[in-house]
A and B are shown apart, each in its own frame.
Chain A
């Protein structure tokens, strides 16, 4: 069975600094998709970034980028130039193209002014 682990329950970062959130997963699938979702205090779930496992190039979306290490089954999210609006819960998610999405337990990120 697939699992997703986020080992950092809470993190904080100073505004304008860089922070990296960790995510590891376990699967026997060779092709799959990984996602980071953001849940701000409004509780809306927002897709931040996605990565296809067959792509070696790490995905980037503006200030958000990932470090995808397929062999190590690691998928970390780097937020550069952190902004107060980045304060949120961040969830890592896995999808193998079958039916279920598997979510991690989340990392609560607080950006400090």
Chain B
């Protein structure tokens, strides 16, 4: 168990709908990252937050948005869903441990758009 939690585990919805994915980082971690992994693909970095502020953006569509709340949990909002948005969405949190950065992943939310 990495200590990062994600809800829900599975989500099935229809095209055109909007969904919200939730992530709680490990205790003490200030950074949250969101990734998208389509079937048999690598990880696509979407966005990073640090202590409530957006720090980096990757290949995130305009239909997607995210935020990090004062209690450090984060939400990823996906709207106007398309079939191609079906994927595994990971949240990860990181901290600086000694002189190293380590990133720990949640179990993922599997989104199926029908």
Chain A interface residues toward B at CB < 8 A: 33, 35, 37, 43-47, 50, 52, 54, 91, 93, 95, 97-106
Contacts and interface: CB of A to CB of B under 8 A. Distances in A.
B92 to A, nearest CB: 7
A32 to B, nearest CB: 9
B103 A101 contact: yes
Interface in B56-114: 56, 58, 88, 90, 92, 99-105, 107-108
Nearest to B104: A47
B28 interface: no
Contacts, number: 53
Interface string B18-52: 00000000000000010001000011010010100
A54 to B, nearest CB: 8
A97 B101 contact: yes
Interface of B: 2, 33, 37, 42-43, 45, 48, 50, 55-56, 58, 88, 90, 92, 99-105, 107-108
Nearest to A102: B45
B48 A35 contact: no
Given A45-B92, A99-B48, A106 B56 contact: no
Contact of A45 (B55, B90, B101): B90
Contact of B45 (A33, A46, A98, A100): A100
Nearest to A96: B101
Given A99-B55, A99-B56, A50 B100 contact: yes
A52 B88 CA distance: 29
B29 to A, nearest CB: 14
A50 B103 CA distance: 10
Contact of A47 (B48, B58, B103): B103
A95 B101 contact: yes
A33 B100 contact: yes
B42 A103 contact: yes
B2 to A, nearest CB: 8
Given A100-B48, A100-B58, A44 B42 contact: no
A102 to B, nearest CB: 8
A104 B102 CA distance: 17
